[in-house]
Amino acid sequence: MQTRNGVEFLDTGSQFISPTDTELLALIQQLNVRTNQQLTCGNNTVFQQTRRKRQLSLQQQWSTTLFSDLINSPELIGNLTNTSVAAMSQQMDTTDADSVNRLMQTFFDAPGEQVSEVQLALTCSSQNATAVEILRRFGHGQSLLAQGGMNEVVRRLADGLLIEYSQRVVSVNDAAFPAVVQTSTGRRFSARQVIVAVPIPTLENIDLVPTPEAPFQQLIQNYGPTGHAYYFTMSFQRATWRLNGRSGKVIYTSQSGPLVWLTTFDTTFASSCDNSTSASSSLWGIAHFSYDVPFETRKKLYIQAIMYSLRFADFSPLDCTDVNFATDDLAKGSIPTLRLNIPMESLKYLNDFHTLYQNVHIATADISSNSLGTMNGAVHSGSAVSNYVLQMLSAADAQRNELLRDTPVESTTPYVYSTSSHYPPAMFAAEIPAQVQNQTRIQNSPLTPSNSTSSGTFQYETSSQYPSTVQPPTTTTMKHFSFGNLDNSTNNEEPAAVLYDSPPQQAQPTLNYSTTFAYSTSSVMPPVVPIETTTIRHFSNGNLNETSTAQSPAVQRDNPSILINQQQNGYVYSTSTHYPIQLSSNRNINARATPSPEIVQQLQEVSESATNFTSLQLASSLTQLVQSLLTTLRLQ
SS3 string, 130-161, reads: CHHHHHHHCCCCCCEEECCCHHHHHHHHCCCC
Query: Domain limits of the chain?
Result: 39-142, 164-225+333-392
pLDDT at 321: 94
Percent of the chain with pLDDT over 90: 34
The answer to whether the CB of 146 falls within 8 A of the CB of 35 is: yes
pLDDT at 156: 92
CA–CA dist 252, 99 (Å, integer):
16
CA–CA dist 418, 375 (Å, integer):
64
Residue 341 sits at φ, ψ, to 5 deg, of 60, 35
Give which of 363, 378, 377 is closest to 128, Cα–Cα: 377
Confidence of residue 346 (pLDDT cuts 50, 70, 90): very high
The answer to whether the CB of 364 falls within 8 A of the CB of 198 is: yes
Question: For the ranges 132-136, 388-392, 398-402, which has the lowest average pLDDT?
Answer: 398-402
What mean pLDDT do residues 414-423 have?
59
Question: Is the pLDDT higher at 370 or at 94?
Answer: 370
Question: Is the pLDDT higher at 119 or at 44?
Answer: 119
Listed as own residue / partner, the contacts of 182-185 with beta carbons closer than 8 Å and 24 or more positions apart are none
Above 80 in pLDDT, residue 54?
no
DSSP class of residue 116 equals B
Q: How far is CA 329 from the centre of its chain?
A: 29
The answer to whether the CB of 40 falls within 8 A of the CB of 141 is: yes
Q: Tell me the three state secondary structure of residue 531.
A: coil
pLDDT at 527: 64
Above 60 in pLDDT, residue 588?
no
CA–CA dist 355, 384 (Å, integer):
12
pLDDT at 460: 60
pLDDT at 371: 96
Q: Mean pLDDT in the chain?
A: 77
Question: Is the pLDDT higher at 493 or at 603?
Answer: 603
Model confidence pLDDT, tens digit, residues 459-509 = 666 655 555 555 555 555 666 666 666 665 555 554 444 444 445 555 455
Above 80 in pLDDT, residue 521?
no
CA–CA dist 129, 138 (Å, integer):
12
Question: For the ranges 31-40, 397-406, 472-481, which has the lowest average pLDDT?
Answer: 472-481
Residue 11 makes CB contacts below 8 A (sequence gap 6+) with 148, 149, 150, 151, 152, 233
Question: Is the pLDDT higher at 88 or at 423?
Answer: 88
pLDDT at 473: 57
Whether this prediction's pTM lies above 0.75 is answered by: no
The answer to whether the CB of 281 falls within 8 A of the CB of 268 is: yes
N residues, the chain: 636
CA–CA dist 633, 636 (Å, integer):
5
User: Which H or E run contains 262?
Assistant: strand 259-266
Percent of the chain with pLDDT over 70: 66
Model confidence pLDDT, tens digit, residues 361-394 = 999 999 999 999 999 999 999 999 999 999 999 9
Model confidence pLDDT, tens digit, residues 201-250 = 999 999 999 999 999 999 999 999 888 899 999 998 888 787 777 888 88
Model confidence pLDDT, tens digit, residues 284-312 = 999 999 999 999 999 999 999 988 888 77
R_g (Cα) of the chain, nearest Å: 54
Give which of 231, 234, 162 is closest to 191, Cα–Cα: 162
Model confidence pLDDT, tens digit, residues 163-182 = 877 788 999 999 999 999 99
Residue 418 makes CB contacts below 8 A (sequence gap 6+) with 444, 445, 446, 461
pLDDT at 28: 95
Give which of 334, 13, 27, 11 is closest to 147, Cα–Cα: 11
CA–CA dist 261, 251 (Å, integer):
8
DSSP class of residue 106 equals I
pLDDT at 616: 80
CA–CA dist 262, 105 (Å, integer):
10
CATH architecture of 164-225+333-392: 3-Layer(bba) Sandwich (3.50)
pLDDT at 581: 53
Above 60 in pLDDT, residue 52?
no
pLDDT at 454: 45
pLDDT winner (highest mean) among 208-222, 520-534, 547-561: 208-222
What mean pLDDT do residues 568-574 have?
53
Residue 400 makes CB contacts below 8 A (sequence gap 6+) with 406
Residue 180 sits at φ, ψ, to 5 deg, of -120, 130
Residue 223 sits at φ, ψ, to 5 deg, of -140, 105
CA–CA dist 481, 472 (Å, integer):
18
The answer to whether the CB of 102 falls within 8 A of the CB of 346 is: no
Tell me how crowded residue 414 is: count the other CB atoms within 10 A of its CB: 14
The answer to whether the CB of 76 falls within 8 A of the CB of 344 is: no
Model confidence pLDDT, tens digit, residues 181-201 = 999 989 999 999 999 999 999
